[in-house]
Amino acid sequence: MKQIIVFFLFFPLMIWSQSSFDTAEKLFREDKFEQAQPLFEQFLKENPSNLKAIEYLGDIAGNYKSWDKAISYYKKLKQLKPTEADYFYKYGGAMGMKAKEVNKFRALGMIDEVRGSFEKAIALNAKHIEARWALIELNLQLPGIVGGSQSKAIRYSNELLKVSPIDGYLSRGHIDEYFKRYTAAEQQYKKAIAISGSKTSYQMLANLYKNKMNEPEKASAILQKIKSLNSSPKKNI
């Protein structure tokens, strides 16, 4: 009998708590982060191990470029559920963004953890696309002396080709573009367009024509194609 009484005493609080979470989630999806944040924070006080609330707060912190906060939330997620690939990916991403804002000496000390987090995400989920993209970019941006490698970037691009052909072609085109192999990049982007027709593929090709190959007419034609895609059912990467 006592347990029943306790249940009915706390039942309204449980309903209110869930309702506030639902409201916060709706606000988050509408990009109303400032309004959603205090609701998630209050919900987390009452439910300190709720994974979704922690993740939302980490994402909000990341949106505001509050990297220390984001790192703290994602680190907690890793601890609570060390089998979830996305938590390691987000943690590595926040660490990577933090590394870009600190001095070079400190950033060098963060690189291994950034790389290791992305690699862990792939180990947990062999089909994790975003983690491979992150590792490609990391290997392109880092000097060879601290682990940057074109061959590693290509290896992850080849892995992407098996997991998601469009990402494989786009990532290889991105690598070729980075190293100023513009004709090769053009062919890779065209392959991505051929198999998907996605707006992202067209946009990357248009940017290549406009910004790197000095072919404004081709860029304009591609941008017109993107406009026609915008007026038809969405087809994104």
In 10 A of CB 18, how many CB atoms? 12
Q: Which tokens hold the place of 198?
A: 């996605």
Q: Domain limits of the chain?
A: 184-237
Question: Which value, in Å, is the radius of gyration of the alpha carbons in the chain?
Answer: 22
Q: Which tokens hold the place of 122?
A: 């792939």
Cα distances (Å, whole numbers) of residue 184 to 19, 94, 102, 124, 209: 53, 32, 35, 33, 13
CB 160 within 8 A of CB 237: no
Tens digits of per-residue pLDDT, 40-63?
999 999 999 999 999 999 999 999
CA dihedral 67, 69, 71, 75 (to 10 degrees): 180
> What mean pLDDT comes out for the span 114-128?
98
b/e sequence 183-221, b meaning 16+ C-beta within 10 Å:
eebbebbebbbeebebbbbbbbbbbbbbeebebeebbee
Q: Which CATH architecture is the domain 184-237 placed in?
A: Alpha Horseshoe (1.25)
Q: Which tokens hold the place of 233?
A: 């059912």
Q: If 0-12 CB within 10 Å is exposed, 13-18 middle and 19+ buried, where does residue 58 land?
A: buried
Tens digits of per-residue pLDDT, 198-218?
999 999 999 999 999 999 999
Tens digits of per-residue pLDDT, 72-103?
999 999 999 999 999 999 999 999 999 999 99
pLDDT confidence of residue 119: 98
CB 157 within 8 A of CB 171: yes
Cα distances (Å, whole numbers) of residue 4 to 1, 13, 46, 61: 5, 15, 21, 40
pLDDT score of 3 more than 80: no
pLDDT confidence of residue 214: 97
Of the CA atoms within 13 Å of residue 209, those in its CB half-sphere come to 18
Q: What is the pLDDT of the chain when averaged over all its residues?
A: 91
pTM over 0.85: yes
DSSP per residue, 22-78: HHHHHHHHTT-HHHHHHHHHHHHHHSTT-HHHHHHHHHHHHHTT-HHHHHHHHHHHH
Torsions phi, psi of 236, nearest 5?
-105, 170
- Chain centroid, CA 133 distance in Å: 9
